[in-house]
């Protein structure tokens, strides 16, 4: 079964672009990444899936329910972590968590206590006294305490220190192993690469690639770093060339024999040829068709 399935989902904001003809399929139990820079349409997609905004056209199902007809049924099994965690001023963390649980008609105290302990969150503090990172922790506990079938996370790690980020992803992987579907929206590509099995790349409101993360990373292009002196002029298939103190690095997508001949003609002290990381692939997708990086 698909946890999320959109068909030509479109949202227009008058003159400004939202999302266009979005087709997305996330299977139940997947750890799915949703990549794109700010303004690409990630949050619009998430807001449409969670019923905060209505689509202009197209359709979408979340956990088998139509987003237009069964908003409450979807939200009953969905934990949502917004990019900006804002709560009611004057309330303590424990009151926010209890309020969220009551809205779900659940008693989540035990799970909430465990999560707060793991994320080092002091529940006796008032939310308006908390730092951005600590408010994010409150939002994480709110999203996770009901052990939902689907977790929709919009830029979840902003403000979290590296240790808490690691703990947070450990928690997500545990939830995923228990069967929860994770939909992780982020522009931090290393997060996607480390945790997700599949990912979609969104650009200017449209999905431009959707595949396994390993497949997205797989490309004929190679990152070549050469130490020493070599004349690269005339060699076709070179992109993203950077030069430093005694070295030159570039992405190469041309004939490998020609590259080897060119390198053999130079005076090299060191050479490395590696697969490009997801960040470079991502930039590659954004540069295609005259797009911006």
Partner 1 sequence: MTIVKHELRQSKTSFFIWTAAIGFLLMVCIFLYPEMKGEMEGINDMFSSMGSFTAAFGMDKLNFGTLMGFYSVECGNVLGLGGAFFAALCAVNILSKEERDKTAEFLLTHPVSRARIITEKLAAVLIQIIAMNLILYGLSAGAIAAVGETVPWKELNLLHLAYCILQIELAAICFCISAFMRKGSVGIGLGLAAVMYFLNLIANITETAEFLKYITPFGYCDGAELITSGSLDKTMVSIGAAFGIAGVIAAYLKYIRKDIH
Q: Residues in the site for partner 1, rule: CB under 8 A?
A: 47, 50-54, 71-73, 75-76, 78, 80, 82, 84-90, 99-100, 102-104, 139, 142
Please say which residue, 146 or 176, places its beta carbon nearer to partner 1: 146
Q: Quote the least distance from Cβ 143 to partner 1, whole Å.
A: 9
Q: Quote the least distance from Cβ 2 to partner 1, whole Å.
A: 20
Q: Quote the least distance from Cβ 38 to partner 1, whole Å.
A: 16
Please say which residue, 52 or 268, places its beta carbon nearer to partner 1: 52
Residue identified by tokens 């209890």 is: 98
Please say which residue, 83 or 253, places its beta carbon nearer to partner 1: 83
Please say which residue, 154 or 284, places its beta carbon nearer to partner 1: 154
Tokens coding 137? 């922790």
Helix 132-144 crosses helix 93-103 at what angle (to 10 degrees)? Answer: 30
Polymer length in residues for the chain: 293
Q: Quote the least distance from Cβ 222 to partner 1, whole Å.
A: 43
Q: How far is CA 60 from CA 5, 39, 101, in A?
A: 6, 21, 27
Q: Quote the least distance from Cβ 76 to partner 1, whole Å.
A: 4
Q: Quote the least distance from Cβ 133 to partner 1, whole Å.
A: 17
Rg (CA), the chain: 23
User: String of b and e for 250-273 (b: at least 16 CB within 10 Å)?
Assistant: bbbeeeeeebeebbeeeeeeeeee
Tokens coding 259? 């590259």
Please say which residue, 66 or 84, places its beta carbon nearer to partner 1: 84
SS (H, E, C) 47-114: HHHCCCCCCCEEEEEECCEECCCCHHHHHHCEEEECCCCCCCCCCEHHHHHHHHHHHCCCCCHHHHHH
Please say which residue, 38 or 257, places its beta carbon nearer to partner 1: 38
């Amino acid at each position: 079964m698909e946890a999320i399935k959109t068909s030509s989902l479109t949202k227009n904001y008058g003159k400004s672009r939202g999302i266009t003809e979005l087709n997305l399929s996330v299977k139940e139990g997947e750890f799915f990444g949703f990549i794109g820079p700010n303004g690409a349409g990630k949050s619009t997609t998430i807001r449409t899936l969670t019923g905060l905004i209505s689509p202009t056209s197209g359709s979408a199902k979340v956990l088998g329910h139509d987003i237009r007809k069964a908003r409450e049924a979807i939200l009953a099994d969905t934990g949502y972590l917004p990019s900006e965690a804002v709560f009611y001023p004057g309330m303590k963390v424990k009151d926010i968590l209890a309020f969220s649980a009551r809205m779900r008609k659940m008693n989540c105290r035990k799970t909430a206590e465990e999560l707060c302990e793991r994320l080092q969150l002091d529940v006796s503090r008032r939310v308006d006294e908390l730092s951005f990172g600590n408010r994010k922790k409150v939002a994480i506990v709110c999203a996770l305490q009901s052990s939902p079938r689907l977790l929709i996370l919009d830029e979840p790690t902003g403000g979290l220190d590296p240790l808490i980020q690691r703990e947070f992803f450990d928690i997500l992987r545990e939830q995923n192993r228990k069967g929860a579907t994770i939909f992780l929206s982020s522009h931090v590509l290393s997060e996607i690469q480390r945790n997700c099995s599949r990912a979609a790349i969104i650009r200017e409101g449209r999905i431009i690639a959707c595949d396994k993360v390993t497949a997205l990373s797989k490309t004929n292009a190679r990152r070549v770093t050469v130490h020493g002196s070599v004349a690269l002029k005339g060699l076709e298939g070179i992109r993203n060339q950077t030069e430093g103190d005694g070295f030159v690095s570039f992405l190469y997508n041309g004939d490998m024999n020609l590259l080897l001949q060119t390198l053999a003609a130079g005076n090299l002290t060191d050479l490395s040829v590696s697969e490009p990381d997801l960040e470079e692939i991502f930039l590659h997708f954004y540069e295609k068709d005259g797009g911006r990086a």
